[in-house]
Amino acid sequence: MSNVRFTEQPLSEWMRNRGYESDIVISSRVRIARNLQHLAFPMLATNSQSEEVLAKLQDVLQDERLHQFGQMHTLLLDELDELDKEVLVEKHLISPNLANESRSGAVLISEDESLSIMINEEDHLRIQCLYPGFHVQDAWEKATAVDDIFESHVDFAFDDKRGYLTSCPTNVGTGLRASVMMHLPALVLSQQINRILSAVTQVGLTVRGIYGEGSEAMGNLFQISNQITLGQSEVEIIDNLHGVVLQIIEHEKSARQKLISESRLRMTDRVMRSFGILSNASIMDAKEAAQRLSDVRLGVDLGLIDHLSAPALNELNVLTQPGFLQKTFNEHMERGERDMYRAKLIREKLGK
């Protein structure tokens, strides 16, 4: 498989599948942060130290145990242009931090793109596993297996009292961030979302937008993740997230059932209006596109639309991002131009 595919194909292989509760949980992700012992962390490292980290971690790829996760492909950030980096961020294969600030940065990506290993990001090593639907336990088991392979080759920075040491104090301890991306339109429409999300923060979890910390929750998509990495074991973190997400799923299902039973005509009108606007608009900004696509996704999940699939909507969500728009039409675009081409692309895709 050519490395070019990672920046030219909008839909990762893992995104083509529908996992457990995938009408509400879009994806599950586990990320593990690690640093090498006796080497300066990335923010303080010299170029030669960063190159040494890259060489040490790339050597681990020779371990045959990694073959169980498929062929791994190496992309060096210095060899990518800014647009390709933006596209990798939009596909959640690298972080904005790695795209913008790393020295001797690289990402190792599996064939199906469900496993990406970032080198010289905020920490020396970030292992990330992605699954469709609600499979946070599976993502954790895969991530920790990869972590064990790396730890058999290199010594990680570790303190007997504090656990794994990381650049950001909020990751010290387990170095584990587990998250699920949830589509919660019914809770938003029924004005229950603030109460639910407020309760989430009371149990050691946090809510972010689709690209993590500092990003906006557009299109009724919310990323729920653990906030505590110190003082809890990995199993406790996963179990806490799992239990809370199950409750949110039940609240969203109940809200959807109430909307369709009490306001079916109104919901049908909302969904079809959004579909009609997406199918005919000449200009569409990112925020409106996300909201309209959220309405259509809800319509698919409620059985109000039967000619669209979840993977098709996943693809549209990626294709309409700024980087992919420019990649698709092979030209640099200012904001106004992107809005025009976004509308054009959506019309073409829905027309098919």
Q: How far is Cα 109 from Cα 136, in angstroms, rounded to an integer?
A: 19
Pair 128, 203 in one domain: yes
| Cβ 102 vs Cβ 43: under 8 Å | no
For residue 338, say whether it is annotated as part of any ligand binding site: no
For residue 65, say whether it is annotated as part of any ligand binding site: no
Pair 217, 292 in one domain: no
> 297 or 313: which carries more pLDDT confidence?
297
Query: pTM of the entire structure?
Result: 0.90
DSSP 8-state code for residue 68: G
For residue 162, say whether it is annotated as part of any ligand binding site: no
Pair 232, 320 in one domain: no
Rg (CA), the chain: 21
pLDDT at 16 over 80: no
Q: Where are the alpha helices (DSSP H) in 214-262?
A: 234-262
pLDDT tens column, 68-98? 898 899 999 999 989 999 999 998 999 999 9
Residue 283: band (very low, low, confident or very high) from pLDDT cuts 50, 70, 90: very high
Pair 210, 294 in one domain: no
Q: How far is Cα 187 from Cα 259, in angstroms, rounded to an integer?
A: 10
Pair 235, 289 in one domain: no
Pair 34, 81 in one domain: yes
Q: How far is Cα 189 from Cα 263, in angstroms, rounded to an integer?
A: 12
For residue 92, say whether it is annotated as part of any ligand binding site: yes
**What's the half-sphere exposure (Cβ side, CA atoms, 13 Å) at 178?**
29
The token duo for 169 is 């104090």
For residue 274, say whether it is annotated as part of any ligand binding site: no
Distances (CA, A) of 183 to 22, 119, 189, 213, 302: 9, 30, 12, 18, 13
> 254 or 323: which carries more pLDDT confidence?
254
Residue 344 belongs to domain spanning: 263-351
For residue 340, say whether it is annotated as part of any ligand binding site: no
**What per-residue confidence (pLDDT) applies to 307?**
86
Q: How far is Cα 46 from Cα 40, in angstroms, rounded to an integer?
A: 8
The total domain count for the chain is 2
Pair 37, 77 in one domain: yes
For residue 179, say whether it is annotated as part of any ligand binding site: yes
Domain stops at, among 221, 255, 289: 255
For residue 342, say whether it is annotated as part of any ligand binding site: no
For residue 333, say whether it is annotated as part of any ligand binding site: no
Domain stops at, among 206, 239, 255: 255
Pair 217, 334 in one domain: no
For residue 30, say whether it is annotated as part of any ligand binding site: yes
Distances (CA, A) of 105 to 118, 179, 222: 8, 24, 28
First to last CA, the chain: 28
Average pLDDT over residues 273-295: 95
Q: How far is Cα 210 from Cα 218, in angstroms, rounded to an integer?
A: 7
Q: Where are the alpha helices (DSSP H) in 44-125?
A: 47-59, 82-90, 96-101
Pair 128, 107 in one domain: yes
For residue 31, say whether it is annotated as part of any ligand binding site: yes
Backbone CA torsion sign across 95, 72, 113, 170 = negative
Pair 243, 267 in one domain: no
Q: Which residues pair with 209 in a beta bridge?
A: 212
pLDDT at 300 over 50: yes
For residue 212, say whether it is annotated as part of any ligand binding site: yes
For the domain that residue 116 is a member of, what is the CATH number?
3.30.590.10
Distances (CA, A) of 18 to 23, 34, 297: 8, 31, 14
Average pLDDT over residues 17-21: 83
Q: Which residues contact 139 (CB under 8 A, 6 or more apart)?
A: 28, 29, 30, 129, 130, 131, 178
Q: How far is Cα 1 from Cα 278, in angstroms, rounded to an integer?
A: 34
Domain stops at, among 198, 224, 255: 255
**What per-residue confidence (pLDDT) applies to 1?**
43
For residue 211, say whether it is annotated as part of any ligand binding site: yes
Pair 90, 146 in one domain: yes
pLDDT tens column, 252-273? 999 999 999 999 999 999 999 9
Helix (H, G, I), strand (E, B) or coil at 63: coil
Backbone CA torsion sign across 307, 310, 315, 321 = positive
For residue 272, say whether it is annotated as part of any ligand binding site: no
